[in-house]
Amino acid sequence: MNRIIKELDNNNNILSIYFTAGHPKLEDTCKIIKNLEASGVSMVEIGLPFSDPLADGLTIQTSSTVALNNGMNSDLLFNQLKDIRKTVKIPLIIMGYFNPILQYGVDDFCKKCKEVGVDGLIIPDLPIEEYLKSYESIFKENNLLNIFLITPQTNKDRIKLIDNISTGFIYMVSSSGVTGSNNGFDSEQTDYFERIQNMHLKSPKIIGFGISDSKSFNEAIQFSEGAIIGSAFINHINSYGINGIRSFIKKYKN
């Protein structure tokens, strides 16, 4: 069974952490993953840095620039992850834009994901129709889940389509802005959460964007199976280094 599905079956309060591979230092990727698992995180999203990250706010954009300047790329990431499954058990997801994956070769990229133990991909700019037409079979061959995103602007028919084709969770973007742009949720966002909740979708939902403290995390899990924290985590390691990971996670686990 795919590790993401297993985790979703066993845990209703998923804490997923996003960070950019190769940031703050090139060799920090596996150290961060191991520290996150030891701190009790449910799953990890590894950001593949890209030079034009349109959906990302300043914090993640800056971390991507640092990682690229450090020399991070797809080959190096796979090399760093080659032995990760000797010690790490939690689900691992690569989140990135489609251009680097396409340049690498989608088939080869997915095969490498399977080889190193990656469980899923989040590719915000890969159109659903293109995925279904050209890449779905490749993902399935390599036991990879493709995680689709919905936003407050996604119409009901689109949401139902995504729900029908999803085999993992739906990434529920809390706002139409970029990552890291919010601090807590307003009434418009909670109305959106309630609207999606009332659709009674079959797929679990995990909320991302704007989760910056224990208050927003606890609000998010009232409407979903979990929440994703990215910018707040990156800001923390920028300030305190990777040795401060446990103290950061502790705020969300208590």
Catalytic residue (choose from 28, 45, 163, 225): 45
243 touches 226 (CB < 8 A)? no
Please indicate whether residue 9 is annotated as part of the active site: no
Tokens representing 40?
């009790």
Tokens representing 163?
């729900």
Largest Cα span, the chain: 45
Catalytic residue (choose from 37, 56, 119, 163): 56
Please indicate whether residue 56 is annotated as part of the active site: yes
The distance from CA 72 to its chain's CA centroid, rounded to whole angstroms, is: 18
96 touches 48 (CB < 8 A)? yes
Tell me the one-letter amino acid at 252: Y
* Calpha distance 95→217 (Å, rounded): 20
* Calpha distance 58→62 (Å, rounded): 6
Helix (H) or strand (E) holding 227: strand 226-229
Task: Show which residues are catalytic.
Answer: 45, 56
